[in-house]
Copies of this chain bind each other. A is one copy, B any other.
Amino acid sequence: MQNLRMTIQYDGTKYDGWQRQGNTKNTIQEKIETVISRITGEEIELNGSGRTDAGVHALGQVANFKTDSEYDEEYMLKEINRYLPKDIRLLDLKKEDIRFHSRLNAKRKTYIYRIDNTDFGSVFDRRYAMRFNERLDVKAMKEAAAFYVGEHDFKSFCTKKSMKKSTVRRIYSVDITKNNGIIEIIYCGNGFLYNMVRILTGTLIDVGRGRINPWDIADIIEARDRGRAGFTAEPEGLFLKSVEY
């Protein structure tokens, strides 16, 4: 029995998110499981580091699975990529300690949210950024983002669906840059609740357009009330960048 760990890149545009679900066959987890099961002849179950929603992308999702197959990793990596659709790629595949679990052992995650704030919408960012055509005040967004950093109860920034017991998370940093009209927000934290990055971003956009004052963020966190935060930003702007262990 060996435990193999992979890094995965995917364009989430066409998919119903990461996680396998009852009725659909259109999740990224299922696509990869199907290919590996065919290669190994076993029924494979992938542990992902966490879900990504429908339409969300990944530059470096991490997952692991156990197998009795004795193919070497390099051969298997090539075979898996050969049969995967072109919008899903394994970047690597490595042997891990048998106890390694990509979700339970994750220490730190980084997400990037991209906003297309150009005058008329960038042709090449249609699928890879949320289009927002009112001009955003990036300085105010940076002021607001500073309030996110630290350990807080993020209940205001979480869709009810979440079954997590605790809504306390630590955000290590939020960095915001703007280049050629594309705003990138990079979030780094020890974990994120369901829809949390998209709600944090929607709230920053509401700050950037003047609907929320940056100094109100502390109150919004304090309230522990989803109704106080901003909207849930669109999935196509979100990328899971990396997971650290």
Contacts and interface: CB of A to CB of B under 8 A. Distances in A.
A123 B86 CA distance: 6
A128 B123 contact: no
Interface string A125-138: 01010000000000
Interface of A: 9-11, 57, 81, 86-91, 119-124, 126, 128
A90 B128 CA distance: 20
A76 to B, nearest CB: 13
The 10 closest A-B pairs by CB, nearest first: A81-B120, A11-B123, A9-B123, A89-B120, A89-B123, A87-B123, A86-B126, A10-B123, A11-B124, A89-B121
Contacts of A128: 124
Given A9-B122, A88-B123, 19 more contacts: A9-B123, A9-B124, A10-B123, A11-B123, A11-B124, A81-B120, A81-B121, A86-B121, A86-B123, A86-B126, A87-B123, A87-B126, A89-B120, A89-B121, A89-B122, A89-B123, A90-B120, A91-B119, A91-B120
Contacts of A90: 120
A160 to B, nearest CB: 32
Nearest to A82: B120
A185 B91 CA distance: 24
A117 to B, nearest CB: 14
A165 B91 CA distance: 49
A46 to B, nearest CB: 18
A131 to B, nearest CB: 9
Contacts of A10: 123
